[in-house]
Amino acid sequence: MKKVFLPPPTANLATAILGMWKLTSREDVDAEGKIHTDPFLGKDPAGILCFAAGHFSAQFMKRDRSGQENMPERARAENNTAGVNGYDAYFGTYSTDESAGTLTTHLEGSISHANIGSTYVRDVRVAGNELIVQLHTTAVDGTAVTRTNTFSRVG
């Protein structure tokens, strides 16, 4: 699996991630460097993450959801959540491992019942007012990809 460059782990990661973050880019790249677009959320989804006192919430949405109203629930990809009608939202608790540069989330609630109770580990870095979240998952066609979500601080 091709790993997209990440800076070294963030010092004081637990403190650095606190606040509200708005998604600025989302990219899925396979081992050959080919970019894949998730049809469920589209090329340029909207998204927001909030971290406070060991709790988090996340929301992602396809910008144009017209025609999505009766879309069946998206099957959960490897190491990833499932959403409904071009929308994915979940919340729960989290912990950080500063030396590994990882964030572990425990989902207590979700728009998709299939996600409730799931635990995910992500590589996370904070560089200035930018939050980078990286994970390994699969594209719709089953191709292994590295997903890099980049957020900017909004609060």
Q: Is residue 34 part of a domain?
A: yes
Q: Is residue 32 part of a domain?
A: yes
pLDDT digits (tens, 9 = 90+) for 35-45: 999 888 888 99
Q: Is residue 136 part of a domain?
A: yes
Q: Is residue 1 part of a domain?
A: no
> Which carries the bigger pLDDT value, residue 31 or residue 75?
31
73 burial via Cβ count (<10 Å: 0-12, 13-18, 19+):
middle
Residue 25's identity, in one-letter code, is S
Mean pLDDT, residues 121-131 taken together = 96
pLDDT digits (tens, 9 = 90+) for 87-101: 899 999 999 999 999
> 23 is written with which tokens?
């998604």
- Say how many domains are in the chain: 1
Structural domain for 55, as ranges: 13-153
Q: Is residue 67 part of a domain?
A: yes
Q: How sure is the predictor about 85, in pLDDT bands with cuts at 50, 70 and 90?
A: confident
Q: Is residue 53 part of a domain?
A: yes
Q: Is residue 37 part of a domain?
A: yes
Q: How sure is the predictor about 71, in pLDDT bands with cuts at 50, 70 and 90?
A: low
User: Residues 6 or more apart from 92 whose CB is under 8 A from it?
Assistant: 55, 56, 105, 106, 107, 108, 109
Q: Is the pTM of this model over 0.85?
A: yes
Query: How many C-beta neighbours within 10 Å does residue 47 have?
Result: 19
Q: What CATH number is attached to the domain comprising 81?
A: 2.40.128.280
% of residues, the chain, pLDDT over 70? 89
Q: Is residue 5 part of a domain?
A: no
